[in-house]
Amino acid sequence: MGEASQMSSPVLGFSHLQLNARDVRASVDWYCTALGMDVMSEHGDVVALRHREARLVIVVSSGEPDVAHSPIDHLAFAVADGPTLEAWAAHLRELGLEVPAVVDELGKPSLQLRDPDGNAVELVAPAPR
């Protein structure tokens, strides 16, 4: 499994960082003020912030941060599109990894994985047009 596979990785770059927050509104206000971010979208207690120039997205969601471990909910990496994500998921299964089905998360194809230490790692494609 550690050897290079014949299929190239579909990862294009970093998608977003998601943080658990006790008070979503206070965190949104802080990131907008401290980092100059703008609200990109809101879905209940999940707010996506972006910094266009830095191409940075931070998602703040309701949850109890475990700062003794980490305030980060998961790491997410961008993939070109849904079919590429499906192909990569099948490839990972062929390599023997436990890989769940690709799901729709807020209109975007998402593959939600766990690393060996239990950290959540997501591969996410843009919403279909």
- Averaged over 67-95, what is the pLDDT? 88
- CA atoms of 98 and 35, how far apart (whole Å): 37
* The pLDDT value given to residue 65: 75
The answer to the question of residue 56 being in a domain is yes
pLDDT at position 28 over 70 = yes
- Averaged over 95-115, what is the pLDDT? 92
How many Cβ atoms from other residues are within 10 Å of residue 121's Cβ? 13
Mean pLDDT of the chain: 88
pLDDT band at 97 (very low <50, low <70, confident <90, very high): confident
Q: What's the angle, vertex CA 113, arms to CA 60 and CA 82, rounded to 5?
A: 85
Number of domains in the chain: 1
The residue segments making up the domain with residue 62 are 11-124
Residue 71 sits in a domain whose CATH number is 3.10.180.10
